[in-house]
């Protein structure tokens, strides 16, 4: 027992946070709806994964830029633009539409990344401009109205349950997560991204190609957000002109409880996946309970406040100091016991 406790304590927050939050949300999902007379079935799990499929990639896109020490607000814009483009460009072939959307997402990310890297611009400012531009482009393409996707078969096929709990939609998203996780975990790119986020100056000194890494991360972010938007539009068979800030709220919360910090350098794709899954479980639970929207919003808001405070530098310092003081006190006590 104490060995397990020790092992738990030795885990870094970047591992601990997603594990604990995911476990808590699984517990919530299994217990609360059932206790209210809404038993969990395979359809419930299906809907969890559908939520995950809708917003998961936005969380991954935003989370990756946060690991690199930046913040990509334009994921929100690319999510909207991706939907509109997919509907417009994929009339004949959905697959072609997705490919084009991902390519355009890559281009948008590339431009923003290049501005941020070469001109040393603040990523908030650039991606804010990018966001507004993309929302504008979405409205322009859709003539300020939602556009429906006439290829309804695609929509049905995309969300058709597979093995009861999956759908093509959620499987594609999971595959994208696995791909990025492999890239981050098993190639030297992951190390470079974390290095750039953790300490940019030192990264330059030791020879990491910081500019390339930044451009790469923003390109990837654009691709993922575009893919998310395209898939979402096909699922709904509609592209909306402005999705609001809901995807951003989901993404930021998922990334933070997934062990990513705003300061950068910390977090993994698996952690973001866990965070997104935790958020999906929460939202699905409220869906099953048929709670009004405000419940979800207040719970999400509070969760986000807790997550951001836990990662705030001054609070982290205090926790670290308290830990050290405790350790040294214990060490002194043990030493005293031996005397």
Partner 1 sequence: MSATEHAVMGPGVSRSPLERLSRGDLALLLGAVVVFGVLVYGAVSTQGFLSYGNFKAILASMGIIGIVAVGMSCITISGNLVSVTLGTTVVVTTMLFLAALTFGPVAAIVLTILAGAAVCALQGFLIGGFRANPIIVTIAFGTLQLGLAQRLTNQSTVYPPHDASFRFLAGTVFGLPLSIFVLIAITLALEFWLRRSRLGRESYLVGENLRAARASALRVTPVAVAAFALAGACAAVAGVLLGASQGNATLLTSETYTFQAIAAVLVGGIAITGGKGAIYRTVLGALFIAVVSDMLLLRGYSTGVQVLVRGLVVLAAVVIVQLLAKERA
Partner 2 sequence: MSTATSPERLRFQGVCKSYGAVRALADFSLTLRPGEIHALCGHNGAGKSTVVKILAGLVRPDEGQIEIDGAEALARSPQQAQRLGVALVDQEISLIDVLSVADNLMLGSADQPFLNRRRAARSRARDLLRRVGLDSLDPARPVSSLAMGERQLVEIARALGHDAGILILDEPTATLSEAEIGHVFDAVRSVSADGTAVLFVSHRLGEVMELCHSVTVLRDGQLVRTAQTTELDRAELIQLMLGHEPERALRREPPAEEGRGSVTIRGLAIPPRVPGLDLDVRPGEIVALAGQVGCGATDVIRALAGHSSRASGEVRVDGRRLRLGSPGVARAAGLAFLSNDRKSEGLFLGRSVGDNLVATRLKEMSSGGLVLERRVEPVAGRLAASIGLEERRRSAVSELSGGNQQKVFLGRLLEQPGTRLLLLDEPTRGVDVGGRADIHDLVRSAADAGVGVLFASTELDEIFDLADTIVTMFSGRVVAVARRTETSTHRVVSEMTHAPNDREAVA
Q: Up-side HSE of residue 61: CA atoms within 13 Å toward CB?
A: 34
Least distance (Å) between residue 176 CB and partner 2: 20
145 vs 323, beta carbon nearer partner 2: 323
The candidate with the shortest Cα–Cα distance to 249, out of 198, 292, 199, 305, is: 305
Plot region of 39 (φ>0 → left; ψ -120 to 50 → alpha; else → beta): beta
Cβ count within 10 A of residue 132: 13
Map residues 88-107 to x or -, x wherever contact with partner 1 holds by CB under 8 A.
--------------------
CA atoms of 152 and 238, how far apart (whole Å): 10
Question: Among 140, 145, 202, 313, which residue interacts with partner 2 (rule: CB under 8 A)?
Answer: 202
Least distance from partner 2 to the Cβ atom of residue 306, Å: 22
Question: Does 332 engage in binding with partner 2 (CB under 8 A)?
Answer: no
129 is a contact residue toward partner 1 (CB under 8 A): yes
Residue 2 interacts with partner 1 (CB under 8 A)?
no
Listed residue (96, 233, 235, 48) closest to 158, CA to CA = 235
| CA–CA gap between residue 337 and residue 333 (Å, rounded) | 6
Query: Taking CB under 8 A as the criterion, which residues in 27-56 touch partner 1?
Result: none
R_g of the chain computed on alpha carbons: 21
- Tell me whether residue 120 or residue 143 sits nearer to partner 2 (CB atom): 120
Q: Report the alpha-carbon distance of residue 61 to residue 87 in Å, rounded.
A: 21
Tell whether residue 322 is a contact of partner 1 (CB under 8 A).
Answer: no
Q: Which listed residue (185, 244, 322, 325) binds partner 1 by CB under 8 A?
A: 244
- Using CB under 8 A as the binding rule, the residues of this chain from 138 to 157 that contact partner 2 are none
Q: Is 182 among the residues that bind partner 1 (CB under 8 A)?
A: no
Among 31, 118, 178, 182, binds partner 1 (CB under 8 A): 118
DSSP-derived letter for residue 147 is E
Separation CA 112–CA 130 (nearest Å) = 7
Cβ contact 46:164 at 8 Å = yes
**Is residue 37 left, alpha or beta, with left meaning phi > 0 and alpha meaning psi from -120 to 50?**
left
Q: Which of residues 51-90 bind partner 1 (CB under 8 A)?
A: 71, 73
By CB under 8 A, how many residues form the interface with partner 2? 24
- For the stretch 115-119, contacts whose Cβ atoms lie closer than 8 Å and that sit 24 or more positions apart, written own/partner, are 116/70, 116/214, 116/218, 117/210, 117/211, 117/212, 117/214, 117/215, 118/211
Q: Which stretch binds partner 2 (CB under 8 A): 147-155, 189-197, 268-276, 291-299?
A: 189-197
- Among partner 2, partner 1, none, what does residue 309 contact (CB within 5–8 Å per kind)? partner 1
Binding mask 135-164 for partner 1 (x = CB under 8 A): xxxxxxxxxx--------------------
Shortest distance (Å) from residue 127 CB to partner 2: 23
The reply on whether position 320 binds partner 1 by CB under 8 A is: no
DSSP state of 291: -
Q: Which does 194 bind (CB under 5 to 8 A by kind): partner 2, partner 1, none?
A: partner 2
Binding site for partner 2 (CB under 8 A): 12, 185-188, 190-192, 194-195, 197-199, 202-203, 205-208, 265-266, 317, 321, 324
């Amino acid at each position: 027992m104490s060995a397990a406790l020790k092992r738990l304590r030795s885990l870094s927050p970047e591992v601990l946070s997603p594990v604990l939050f995911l476990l808590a949300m699984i517990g919530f999902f299994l217990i609360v709806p059932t206790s209210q007379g809404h038993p969990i079935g395979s359809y419930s799990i299906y809907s969890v994964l559908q939520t995950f499929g809708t917003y998961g990639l936005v969380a991954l896109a935003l989370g990756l830029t946060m690991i690199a020490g930046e913040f990509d607000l334009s994921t929100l814009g690319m999510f909207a633009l991706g939907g509109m483009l997919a509907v417009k460009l994929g009339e004949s072939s959905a697959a072609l539409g997705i490919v084009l959307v991902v390519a355009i997402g890559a281009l948008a990310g590339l431009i923003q990344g290049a501005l941020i890297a070469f001109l040393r611009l603040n990523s908030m400012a650039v991606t804010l401009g990018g966001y507004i531009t993309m929302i504008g482009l979405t409205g322009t393409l859709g003539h300020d109205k939602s556009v429906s996707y006439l290829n309804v078969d695609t929509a049905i096929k995309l969300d058709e349950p597979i093995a009861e709990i999956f759908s093509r939609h959620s499987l594609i998203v999971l595959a994208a997560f696995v791909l990025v996780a492999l890239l981050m975990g098993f190639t030297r790119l992951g190390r470079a991204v974390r290095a750039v986020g953790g300490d940019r100056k030192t990264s330059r000194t030791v020879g990491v190609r910081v500019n390339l890494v930044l451009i790469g991360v923003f390109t990837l972010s654009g691709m993922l957000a575009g893919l998310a938007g395209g898939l979402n539009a096909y699922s709904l068979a509609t592209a909306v002109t402005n999705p609001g800030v809901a995807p951003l709220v989901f993404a930021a919360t998922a990334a933070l409880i997934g062990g990513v910090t705003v300061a950068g350098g910390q977090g993994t794709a698996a952690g973001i996946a866990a965070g997104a899954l935790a958020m999906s479980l929460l939202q699905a639970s409220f869906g099953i309970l048929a709670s009004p929207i405000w419940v979800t919003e207040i719970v999400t808001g509070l969760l986000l406040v807790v997550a951001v405070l836990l990662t705030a530098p001054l609070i982290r310092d205090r926790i670290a100091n308290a830990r050290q003081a405790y350790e040294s006190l214990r060490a002194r006590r043990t030493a005293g016991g031996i005397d």
